[in-house]
Structures are given as C-alpha cells and as structure tokens.
Chain A
Amino acid sequence: MKPAPFTYHDPQTLDEAYGLLATLENARVLSGGQSLIPMLNFRYVQPDHIIDVAGIAAISGITYKDGILKIGAMTRQREIEYSDIVATHCPLMREAILQVGHRQTRNRGTIGGSLAHLDPAAELPLVACAMDGMIHLGGSRGTRDVAFTDYALGFMTTAIEPDEMITGVSIPTWKPGHGSAFVEFARREGDFAIVAIAALMEIDASQTITRAALAVGGALATAQRLPEAEAILVGAKANDETFRAAGEACTQIDAVEDVHAPASYRKSLAGVLTRRALKAAAERTK
C-alpha cells in the first residue's frame, strides 16, 4: 500500500513538461493525485517517472469567451465548484461537480486528472461527453484538440499518446435559458455512480424541444451519448409522455454488470434516471 520507487520531476513550464514526456520512458503525469496515487499505492501502476504538473501556471484557471468555457487541466475540482463563471454558463457542470467524490478529494482533484483517468462512472467526463467537449492535448510534437467522442476510446482508455498530456478542456456552452440536469444514483453519497445521466434541453414558446443532449455514465465502458433518445426528444413536446419514451429508449443500452449491480438493474435505472433528468431539465428552462 505504498508507491513503488520512482523519480520525481516538477516542471514549471509546459515546454519543460513536454521535454520530459518526450524523453522519459514509462512516465506518468501527476496533477491532483486523487486517482493516480491510489493506483500507485495499490501498485496497479508502477511508473519509473512521475511528472508533477502542479507548478505549471499556464494550465490552471477558468475562462469564458464567445460561448466557450475553457478550463485548464490543473484546475482543482474545488475551483470549479466555487466558480461563478461555471455556475452562470455551465449549470450542468456545477451540478455534476457537487457529486464528484467528497470535499476532501475535490479540494485536490483536478478536471484534467478526471478526464485522463476516465473512470466509466466519473462525472466530469460525462459532462464533457454530453456537451461535446474538446480535450486539448500537448506534447513536444505539437498540440491537438480532440473531441470527446474521439478521445474516450474505451474502458479507462484515452487518445492521449505516451508523449502527450492534457492541458485543458473547452466546453461549448448552451444558450442562456436552456435547462440541464445531472442525476446519478450511488448507494452512498460520494461513491461512484451506478448510473448517471446528463441532460440538456432547449424548448421554444410552444413547449417543443428544439435541441437536446443526453449522455449516460456508469453503465457502459465509458461515458456515451444516447442518440436514439435524443432523436425522440428533438421536435417533440416537452412533456412526461416524451420523457417516458426517451427513458424507454435508454433502457436498451448494453449495460455492464459488476459487483455493484447486474446489467438489468442498470438498464432499468438508466430509464428512470433519464426521465427524472429530462423532467428536471425541462423545468429549469426559461
């Protein structure tokens, strides 16, 4: 239950970090440590080098410009929780962050760390998925922006190359007046969700849904959109009947089975939580 020995590096600039990533074999990036350190303690991972990026000021902070919310990889979850920018422009993320771990882990955990770890039930990747987030990657060969769908390759597997690191994420925000909801079920507060649903919706004056996004976490290998249910929503009236139909479509997912819940339970839960999330999102539209 102690990390195996490694060599510690604490670059102060991105170029320094990129240089280390390019030259060191078997290196891991350390940000808040709330996922990596448990894995080190268990010795699930035994890197030869740890690159602590906490000192790189360029990858920390929250900005909003022209409809894009940009969050640096090293931004702590606590900063997101208390950010007025996030609360104003991205209520879905604000609601989600309150369900990320516990205060003690949010105080240190970062958004970049959560995206890099990509736990199937993690809240922040689910938000990035539902909102078409763009992940910013960097390395000595240059930078690139990867859409969440191309970024999340599978169970805890990302598109990050060994010589790259996440520098941040951009979230295109929805129009003021949209409604959103983040609903999850876990057996205890702060536990990983058995199923989580993120929903966003815009409706017009006649209560017709003009835009909708729906994504599920905890039930599949990684956070995923629910396109069949989204198709049911767009153009339909925002009412219980529509939400029930969309929920029904969500029960068709190929849910995983584990010690926490059988697949049938997750499917049923996906339907129920979808209905609840859609109802809440609709009520929050203005």
Chain B
Amino acid sequence: MPFKIALDDLTPNNLGVIEKINSVCLPVQFDHQWYKESLEENQGHLVKYAFFNELPVAAIKARVITKKGHASPSFVYIDSIAVLEAYRGYGIGKKLLDWLVEESKTRFIHKIQCHGWKESVDWYVKQGFTNEGEVKGYYEKQGLTGDDANAALLSLEF
C-alpha cells in the first residue's frame, strides 16, 4: 500500500508534538527547556518531523558537536529518534535518518553517533551503524535502571 510520508520542520508552534512523541516512545523524559533549546538558531540543532498522511508521527532530534579546541564540527549526535508505535516499520525512521545523513554531509561531517538500548541499536546497525559496545553507567547517570547503553557509530562516505 502506498502511504504518504513527508518531512517537516520544527517551529515554536509545534514544539509540543516532539515532546508528545518522545514522551510516549522513549524511556527517558526530558524537560520542556531541553526541547525549547532546539529552537535556538545557529546552535547546530537538527530536528525534523515525519508526517504519515498529514499526521505527525515521528521526530528526530540531533546536534552538531564541535569538540573543544576544534574549528570544524567533529560529529553529529542523535539525541532522540522516535516513531509512534503504530507507525513503525513503514520506513519512517529510515527516512528521518536519511535526512540526517544528508544534513551531515552538507556540513562535511563524517560521523553520526548515538546511544541506545541494545534493541534500538539493532535498528541502527540495520541502518549501517556499527555497535561500539556497552557504555557503562550511561543510563545510570540519567537515573535509569536495566541494561547498559550501547554506543553506535555511522561513518559517512562522500
């Protein structure tokens, strides 16, 4: 079945949508301020929505990270990617990630990095990331229990 999937921007008026999507999809909860910061310009925030038949169902939020003392950006870090459960498996997550890859490339950044549960890292691996292994205490720091996080890395080719 052909479905209409489209991407759109974050605006001050639809900020509540990513908050909603993340709050029902992710184990970690972020406060309003954290989301608000992504509206700040020139701070390297990369946020995009995905719409399924006009309905916002997914969002990716990432940042361009420049290491201390470096002039050019070091990598892109994915803060969150989430697709509402009923809308998973339709290629929406992939579409958002593809967008991020393109954005990174236009900035001449060679790496995308993220952390995730073992299960979601499986998904990242399916998208070409390499599993960099467990990061001890990563979730503990965020007040979460359970398995440790895995780091995943995608190297971009030009």
Are A and B interaction partners? Answer: no
List chain A positions with a Cβ less than 8 A from chain B: none
Residues of B within 8 A of A (CB): none
